[in-house]
Amino acid sequence: MKKVIATKNAPAAIGPYSQAVQVGNMLFASGQLGMDPVTGNFVEGGVKEQTVQAFKNVHAILAEAGLSINDVVKTTVFLADMGDFAAMNEVYASQFEGTFPARSAVAVKTLPKNGLVEIEVIAVKS
């Protein structure tokens, strides 16, 4: 059975998609930008600050589904500039305890609303 996950603690979807979809014990979360869910604007600063906010948004979606960051098994990180990889990676590493999930990280030409980083996750409830 498929269940749509939505929370006001993360930015609303910008288009025809859900923040996340849960199927059984698996959660597939849409990419999260470094946007403040209250203002709808990017947080002040650069890629580090946007990565912190993107993870806050990920945490909020996971919590809404009764999951935590420890349930994440796969992430995909999209960067507007691969030159920002080290700064993003520093924040990324601080988000997990113990083993890290599998990850892909790619540079893309442009992100929605000209964001600097977007992070999507797949989580599995054990």
Chain segment 29-67, per-residue pLDDT in tens: 999 999 999 999 999 999 999 999 999 999 999 999 999
Number of domains in the chain: 1
pTM of the model: 0.96
Structure confidence at residue 69 (pLDDT): 97
Residue 92: the pLDDT is 98
The residue count of the chain comes to 126
Number of Cβ within 10 Å of residue 89's Cβ equals 15
Domain that holds residue 74: 2-124
- pLDDT of res. 39: 96
Average pLDDT over residues 92-96: 97
Q: In this prediction, what percent of the chain has a pLDDT beyond 70?
A: 100
Is residue 14 pLDDT above 90, yes or no?
no
**Environment class of 18 (CB within 10 Å of its CB; exposed 0-12, middle 13-18, buried 19+):** middle
pLDDT of residue 36: 98
Report whether pLDDT(21) > 90: yes
CATH number of the domain that residue 27 is part of:
3.30.1330.40
Tell me the mean pLDDT in the region 90-119.
Answer: 97
Question: What mean pLDDT do residues 98-109 have?
Answer: 97
Specify the pLDDT at position 126.
Answer: 84
Report how far residue 109's alpha carbon sits from residue 121's, in angstroms, rounded to the nearest whole number: 21
